[in-house]
A and B are shown apart, each in its own frame.
Chain A
Amino acid sequence: MAQSQQHPSGDNRFKLLDRAIAKHQSRGDALIEVLHVAQGIFGYLENDLLVYVAQALKLPLSRVYGVATFYHFFNLKPNGEHTFVLCMGTACYVKGAEQIQTALEEHHQCKFGQTTKDNKVSFITARCVGSCGLAPVAVLDDVVVGKLTPEESVRRVEQLKNTPREVPV
């Protein structure tokens, strides 16, 4: 039976999560599927959420934590308002993704894998987003942008910083 009691926090988003858990009959082997849904709803996987998932799927906490930290797709910390995902696949690398990385890190004083101090942009590297024909490629808030240059990237990020992003509910 799926857990369907109201989450103590009164947060309605847990209803959505419960629905996904019920769809998989609370089976432990659906852990990755459920974590995907949880991250989709909440944006990242904080400890309370992992505990909730572990209890619903009847799994040990350490197992859930082990899985959540194994896969790079899962975030245990929230991202900044915007994300700049730089593709570091072979094609992009050959076409100069590293120079883009250096330019951005210098200009914004923020390493990849981190979020700018003002919490505006998170810089993330990805392993091939599969748009190799357009290398070098980056994904800016879910929009793929190809044939980037270091200058263009810096400009795009500045633009990104100045546009507010609606926080998904």
Chain B
Amino acid sequence: MTVDDLQELSEKELQRQSGKKHRILYCSAAGCVSCGSEKVSDALKAKIKEHALEKECDVVGTGCLGLCGEGPLVKVKNDRTLYQNVDVRTAEQIVESHILNGVPLKDHQTDLAAPFFTSQTKIVLENCGEIDSERIDEYIGARGYEALAKAVNEMQPAQVIEEIRKSGLRGRGGAGYSTGLKWGIVSKAHGEQKYVVCNADEGDPGAFMDRSVLEGDPHRVLEGMAIAGYAVGATQGYVYCRAEYPLAIERLKLAIKQAEKMGLLGNRILESQFNFRVDIRIGAGAFVCGEETALLQSIEGKRGNPKPRPPYPSEKGLWGMPTLINNVETFANIAPIIRNGSDWFAGIGTEKSKGTKVFALAGNIRNTGLIEVPMGIPLRSIIFDIGGGTPEGTEFKAAQTGGPSGGCIPSDQLELPVDYESLAKVGSIMGSGGMIVMDSTSKMVEVAKFFMQFCMDESCGKCIPCRVGTRHIYGLLDKISKKKGTQDDMVLLEELCMMVKETSLCGLGQSAPNPVLSTLRFFRHEYEELLQPVETYQDGSAPVADFTNG
């Protein structure tokens, strides 16, 4: 395929779409599938057929439409109408009333003018809920692979890297390292083979952003990876996806096949000299494999034990070769930046945090779902405008970002701008994008215990502080939560948290104490209320260690 062919294909697809009177979109992401969107789509298609509307009506399964808590969702695109909680009966009514007679249903309609929709800015999710993720033509119709064509035909690899650097894009996996700088390091590193790895091991419990992107717009990730491959000089890419996401894996496999067939992946991409293959590697249920050195070990078929850095993967990664690792959302930002220019991207967000961030909003909040907001948006906007606040009768208490590596942001910090630096300042992290809302019914010691149990279970066991330290921190939290703890236990708890944080080998251990430290910082009274009074304290500590001779 040449660049002209790509252009032609895009126009043809748009023509095909505009030739239809109606484009009915139903959400086929995992959230809606699990509440029956497949039956809904069958009903829609059957009714369309019954009324012989196939020629003027497209029924399209798309990626996530956003409002996951109200699924299944169906959108009649040309009329900008979104239906929620659609069952088979409603689906039939949509066709018979709305499509056939032009009378939209009164029930089940979602207000598209609500802040949930209007307060969002979509870059990563621009195609999610708009195109059929299983048809490459639709992606191409939405200017897909245009950026790859531009990169390989009009730009030098160094220019691509410079463009990404100037955009100010930072890694969306959590740490927030400059993507352009990382690409620069890999491009300069020496190695006969280089690799590009997409980290899709979204292990943070409470996060489903990467999955939604892979399910709803897999080509966008592949295009980002291919551009990265061109920029750093890699010819092989891997997507490391967790096994818990079968639908994402299936769609990704299909997307790779389609792209290869069209010459958009594989050898001589778009008839240039650039070759780039992508293979999928499937994880097997280990949170620690989200850590980059552990992820690489896992791709090499080993236990996911992290390795000390340096050497960094950018210099010595997969099979000892320079390896670029970025997360799904980072790759999903690449094509729009190349297409629209770095200035456009740098115009969104704050001084140090550019662009948008996708969050998976869940917990005790009215609108649960997938959202994308500009960096720097006040937390209040996310919780109350987009999220609609906590359920009736309860009060907002804290938002938890960064999952088991992050922290809580209490209600007096609601004006906090959501960007890398501000979140770090209050002891949390941006993380990969899970945002769990807690209301007045949530007990913070229990929350801390929940995360610590998670870290304890997910610790690989290689280094002592994380392996044994998380176990004891969990034990202390359990003791305190059962009202058996003492002031001495609080001292032990804090000491251990600092030690595990400062001495652990990898990011998992180093950040495992964060949820405890953060709840201690903002909700210390909840711990103290559970402690035993000093008088009844009995020495529960262990006997003196027997390290003596006798």
Direct contact of A and B (CB under 8 A): yes
Residues in chain A within 8 A of chain B (CB atoms): 27-33, 35-36, 63, 66-67, 70-74, 88-91, 93-95, 126-135, 137, 143-146
* Besides the known contacts A33-B301, A73-B284, 19 further A-B residue pairs in the complex with CB atoms under 8 A apart: A29-B301, A29-B319, A32-B284, A33-B282, A36-B284, A71-B284, A88-B205, A94-B363, A94-B447, A128-B207, A130-B211, A131-B34, A133-B67, A133-B71, A133-B369, A134-B34, A134-B35, A144-B33, A146-B31
Q: Say whether A94 contacts B208, CB under 8 Å.
A: no
Q: Say whether B34 contacts A146, CB under 8 Å.
A: yes
The residues in B between 279 and 313 inclusive whose CB is less than 8 angstroms from any CB of A are: 281-287, 298-304
Q: Compute how far the CA of A94 lies from the CA of B68 in the bound complex, rounded to whole angstroms.
A: 17
Which among B33, B244, B454, B458 has the highest number of chain A CB atoms within 10 Å?
Answer: B244
Q: Compute how far the CA of A74 lies from the CA of B284 in the bound complex, rounded to whole angstroms.
A: 7
In the complex, chain B residues whose CB is within 8 Å of the CB of A88 = 205
| B233 on interface, CB distance cutoff 8 Å | no
Digitize B35-48: 1 where CB-to-A-CB distance is under 8 Å, 0 elsewhere. 10000000000000
Q: Say whether B281 contacts A33, CB under 8 Å.
A: yes
| B384 on interface, CB distance cutoff 8 Å | no
In the complex, chain A residues whose CB is within 8 Å of the CB of B319 = 29
CB distance from A140 to the nearest CB of B (A): 11
CB distance from A59 to the nearest CB of B (A): 8
A35 nearest CB neighbor, chain B only: B284
Q: Compute how far the CA of A131 lies from the CA of B208 in the bound complex, rounded to whole angstroms.
A: 7
| B203 on interface, CB distance cutoff 8 Å | yes
The residues in B between 152 and 171 inclusive whose CB is less than 8 angstroms from any CB of A are: none
5 A-B pairs with least C-beta separation: A133-B68, A144-B34, A90-B206, A71-B284, A89-B205
A-B contact count (CB 8 A): 141
Q: Compute how far the CA of A29 lies from the CA of B438 in the bound complex, rounded to whole angstroms.
A: 43
In the complex, chain B residues whose CB is within 8 Å of the CB of A30 = 301
Q: Say whether A128 contacts B69, CB under 8 Å.
A: no
Q: Say whether B301 contacts A67, CB under 8 Å.
A: yes
With A36-B243, A132-B207, A133-B369 given, is the CB distance from A29 to B300 under 8 Å? yes
The residue from A31, A89, A131, A133 contacting B301, defined by CB atoms under 8 A apart: A31
Q: Say whether B203 contacts A127, CB under 8 Å.
A: yes
With A132-B360, A132-B368 given, is the CB distance from A32 to B68 under 8 Å? no
Residues in chain B within 8 A of chain A (CB atoms): 30-31, 33-35, 67-69, 71, 202-208, 211, 243-245, 281-287, 298-304, 319, 360, 362-364, 368-370, 400, 403, 434, 436, 438, 442, 447, 450-451, 454, 458, 460
A-B contact pairs, 18 of them (CB 8 A): A35-B284, A63-B302, A71-B283, A91-B436, A93-B205, A94-B362, A94-B436, A127-B244, A127-B458, A128-B206, A130-B202, A130-B211, A132-B206, A132-B368, A133-B71, A133-B368, A133-B369, A144-B30
CB distance from A17 to the nearest CB of B (A): 16
In the complex, chain B residues whose CB is within 8 Å of the CB of A129 = 244
B367 nearest CB neighbor, chain A only: A133
The residue from B71, B204, B286, B460 contacting A134, defined by CB atoms under 8 A apart: B71
Q: Say whether A93 contacts B301, CB under 8 Å.
A: no
Q: Say whether A70 contacts B281, CB under 8 Å.
A: no
Q: Compute how far the CA of A131 lies from the CA of B32 in the bound complex, rounded to whole angstroms.
A: 9
Q: Say whether A90 contacts B208, CB under 8 Å.
A: no
Q: Compute how far the CA of A93 lies from the CA of B438 in the bound complex, rounded to whole angstroms.
A: 11
In the complex, chain A residues whose CB is within 8 Å of the CB of B205 = 88-91, 93, 127-128
In the complex, chain A residues whose CB is within 8 Å of the CB of B370 = 133
Q: Compute how far the CA of A30 lies from the CA of B450 in the bound complex, rounded to whole angstroms.
A: 34
Q: Compute how far the CA of A126 lies from the CA of B458 in the bound complex, rounded to whole angstroms.
A: 12
Q: Say whether A134 contacts B301, CB under 8 Å.
A: no
Q: Compute how far the CA of A135 lies from the CA of B460 in the bound complex, rounded to whole angstroms.
A: 28
Q: Say whether A67 contacts B303, CB under 8 Å.
A: yes
Q: Compute how far the CA of A132 lies from the CA of B456 in the bound complex, rounded to whole angstroms.
A: 22
CB distance from B280 to the nearest CB of A (A): 9
Q: Compute how far the CA of A142 lies from the CA of B287 in the bound complex, rounded to whole angstroms.
A: 21
Which among B202, B284, B298, B451 has the highest number of chain A CB atoms within 10 Å?
Answer: B284
Q: Compute how far the CA of A27 lies from the CA of B301 in the bound complex, rounded to whole angstroms.
A: 9
In the complex, chain A residues whose CB is within 8 Å of the CB of B436 = 90-91, 94
CB distance from B45 to the nearest CB of A (A): 21
In the complex, chain A residues whose CB is within 8 Å of the CB of B67 = 133
CB distance from B213 to the nearest CB of A (A): 12
CB distance from B341 to the nearest CB of A (A): 33
Q: Say whether B245 contacts A94, CB under 8 Å.
A: no
Q: Say whether B69 contacts A134, CB under 8 Å.
A: yes
In the complex, chain A residues whose CB is within 8 Å of the CB of B303 = 66-67, 70
Q: Say whether B245 contacts A130, CB under 8 Å.
A: yes
Q: Say whether A72 contacts B285, CB under 8 Å.
A: yes
CB distance from A91 to the nearest CB of B (A): 4
In the complex, chain A residues whose CB is within 8 Å of the CB of B454 = 127
